[in-house]
Amino acid sequence: MKTQRTIGFVLLASAGLFSLSLTIGAWAADLNKLVDACSQCHERDGASRDPNMPIIGGYSEPYIISSLTAYKNKIRSCPEIEYLHGDKKVKRTDMCRIAKPLSEEDIRKLAQYYAGKKFRRANQDFDPELAKKGQQIHERDCEKCHSQAGSVASDDSGILAGQWTPYLKQQFFAFYAEKRLLDKKMKPKFNKLDKTEMEALLNYYASFK
């Protein structure tokens, strides 16, 4: 009897482990499909090589969740983009269409995946003099929410230091044109910036390698 009970426990444990391995395998397969889709523009590690596509690897999990949810619900503007790689290369789409079919679980999986990657700063040109002015503006108006020059992911405000300048410029324009919602604290500070000050900020963020 004792031997039979032992065998029974072993069989139950084995069945449990087998079931768990199937669940983990299915989870990994689902995640791979999701990441494959995102990698056609953002690369597999989230380190986009295209200046118009944001580097998303290393963003915080809450920020990625809020961004994808905003796209899914069409709260955030969705300009047309072009797939850069894969079987959909050159085809046009937008982030609202991409995010629409994602479930909450899909969004959570993607957020965990990209939050676990390293933010790889873009190597781009900048004007040193404008960057100095940009540093002063950032420290005056932006540092409180985008600490350490906007390099801290846990601020849950994206990452500015080392982000692609053309992408940031697009977002600045979207804020200016009221196509993307501004935080209540950010709105009065952003709206008082002129084009020269915006350019200085962009050069400051580009100075981080």
Ordered by start, the domain boundaries in the chain are 2-115, 128-206
> What is the average pLDDT value for the chain, to the nearest integer?
88
Higher pLDDT, 7 or 46: 46
Q: Return the minimum-mean-pLDDT range out of 20-24, 29-33, 149-153.
A: 20-24
Q: How confident is the model at residue 200 (pLDDT cuts 50, 70, 90)?
A: very high
At the top level of CATH, which class does the domain 2-115 belong to?
Answer: mainly alpha
Q: What percent of the chain shows pLDDT beyond 70?
A: 84
In sequence order, what are the residues at sequence separation of 6 or more whose Cβ sits closer than 8 angstroms to the Cβ of residue 133?
197, 200, 204
pLDDT value of residue 7: 56
Q: Which CATH number fits domain 128-206: 1.10.760.10, 3.40.50.40, 3.20.20.70, 1.20.272.10?
A: 1.10.760.10
Question: How far is 116 from 109, CA to CA, in rounded Å?
Answer: 11
Q: How far is Cα 191 from Cα 23, in angstroms, rounded to an integer?
A: 49
121 vs 54, 108, 167, CA distance in Å? 10, 24, 13
pLDDT, position 25: 42
CA atoms of 53 and 32, how far apart (whole Å): 20
Q: What DSSP assignment string belongs to 90-102?
A: T-EE-HHHHHTT-
Provide the 3-class DSSP secondary structure of residue 81: strand
pLDDT at position 3, please? Answer: 56
In this model, does residue 20 exceed pLDDT 50?
no
> CA-to-CA distance for 89 and 91, rounded, in angstroms?
6
pLDDT of residue 6: 55
